[in-house]
Amino acid sequence: MNNLLNVYNQLDMEVSKAEGNNIWDTNGNKYIDFFSGISVTNLGHRPKEVIKAIEGALAQYMHISNIFPEKYQKELAGLLVEKTMPESKVFFSNSGAEANECAIKVARKFFDGEKFKIITFKNSFHGRTLATLAATGQSKFRKGFGPVVEGFDHLDFNFLATVEENITPETAAIMVEPIQGEGGINVGTKEFMEGLRKLCDEKKILLISDEIQTGMGRTGKFLGIDNYGIEADIVTLGKALGGGLPLAATLIKDKVASCMEPGDHGSTFGGNPVSCAAGLAAVNAIDDDMLENVAKKGKIFRAGLEGLTSRHETIKEVRGKGLMLGMELNFKGAGMVKYLQENGFIANCTRERVLRFLPPFTIRKSEIDSLIDCIDKYFKERG
Ligand SMILES: Cc1ncc(COP(=O)(O)O)c(C=O)c1O
């Protein structure tokens, strides 16, 4: 008897243990994890420094409430601002959707009701709450959940001219994933991302970078937007931020953040001290060496996948940056995900045809090579 709400397509395996780059099932089979819990366990499973930080915080307190000033929160906020956007404020929440919800509310409040529309992009994914569902550029996620929250325009990704044409006096912000994750690993072009920043400056509207999947070093830079040499006005982080615990953040430039006052927003658990202590350890772990390693491993991985493309014509394209890679197939990828699982690899398929790889940053070249060999074997066996 399973009493869980039936909303997930789950793998037919039960996990008994997860450590480093590996997951074990209850039958004792070992898998190499190329999924990282959708880019959460970026430092591998159960990283020592995160566990130590959690234990340290737990020895003091577990939950105290945002009615108290709290040191782990303050320290983590300071560190995030230092690493990303100087002169910013941070709001902590528990999930990516909540971080984006806060970004949307702040953008609307900043313009005091005069501007309320947010431009987002087709194939984007911003979360499952009602506003972030409305922001998401894939209508399938909204089916059955209407009426849809008003005020979101979904435009073509990587088409700057359309964006310019669609900015109206009601437009408050543009919200973008520098690389669309759930949408199939679609990389924003340099011209597009730079153009968005320029348009936001010209029209005096806000640029929101949804870094829930691209942030925390995943692309070889701390933020995905850092690949373009531009800065957003609001950045959202989640997934890997808590080192494996639930934690998300909305970073807001001071000039925008000043519109928010006590009582305007809040969360019971947001910025939980244990999660923030874990987050401090996770963020501190992402130093320049680690970012360089992500970029280097990403190039090796990508070259391996591209090598397959030249041998197998049913591979349409390899895309991505750093260790956020996608391989688009000419056929549905569910069978390949299953084959990989049977051969000891955890990966996933998004938008039906894009195999998505989000390995931990600790992934070894030998592990990448073994995955490439397994994919090659799949094509040789299955055509
Ligand atoms: C870019 C992006 N934004 C927002 C979200 C929503 O995050 P959460 O599931 O933590 O609410 C996701 C989740 O996959 C995401 O990839």
Mean pLDDT of 68-96: 98
What's the pLDDT at 382? 83
- Whether the pLDDT of residue 383 is over 80: the answer is no
- Whether the pLDDT of residue 4 is over 70: the answer is yes
What's the pLDDT at 216? 98
Mean pLDDT of 77-90: 97
Mean pLDDT of 161-188: 98
Mean pLDDT of 262-271: 98
Strand residue runs (E) in 26-165: 30-33, 88-93, 117-121, 152-155
Distance from Cα 43 to the centre of ligand 1, integer Å:
19
Mean pLDDT of 193-220: 98
Q: Where in the chain is the domain with CATH 3.90.1150.10?
A: 15-33+293-382
- Whether the pLDDT of residue 322 is over 90: the answer is yes
Chain segment 117-158, per-residue pLDDT in tens: 999 999 999 999 999 999 999 999 999 999 999 999 999 999
What's the pLDDT at 256? 98
Return the H-helix or E-strand segment holding 174.
strand 171-176
Nearest to 324 by CA among 218, 216, 239: 218
What's the pLDDT at 108? 98
Mean pLDDT of 221-232: 98
Distance from Cα 288 to the centre of ligand 1, integer Å:
25
Give me the catalytic one of 33, 210, 226, 233.
Answer: 210
Atom of ligand 1 nearest to the CA of 38: 14
pLDDT band at 277 (very low <50, low <70, confident <90, very high): very high
What's the pLDDT at 113? 85
Show the ligand 1 pocket: residues with CB < 6 angstroms: 38, 95-97, 100, 125-127, 177, 181-182, 210, 212-213, 238
Q: CB count, 10 Å around CB of 25?
A: 16
Chain segment 239-257, per-residue pLDDT in tens: 999 999 999 999 999 999 9
Atom of ligand 1 nearest to the CA of 181: 16
Tokens 């090579």 belong to 369
Architecture (CATH level 2) of domain 15-33+293-382: Alpha-Beta Complex (3.90)
- Whether the pLDDT of residue 375 is over 70: the answer is yes
Tell me if residue 33 is catalytic: no
Mean pLDDT of 5-11: 95
Give me the catalytic one of 35, 111, 121, 125.
Answer: 125
Mean pLDDT of 228-238: 98
Residue to substitute in 182, 185, 216 for testing ligand 1 pocket (most ligand atoms within 8 angstroms of CB): 182
Q: How high does pLDDT run on average in the chain? A: 97
CATH class, range 48-285? alpha beta
Give me the catalytic one of 117, 239, 297, 321.
Answer: 239
Q: Where in the chain is the domain with CATH 3.40.640.10?
A: 48-285
Rounded Cα gap, residues 130 and 136, in angstroms = 10
Chain segment 99-125, per-residue pLDDT in tens: 999 999 999 999 998 999 999 999 999
- Whether the pLDDT of residue 324 is over 90: the answer is yes
Burial (CB count <10 Å: 0-12, 13-18, 19+), residue 308: middle
What's the pLDDT at 1? 79
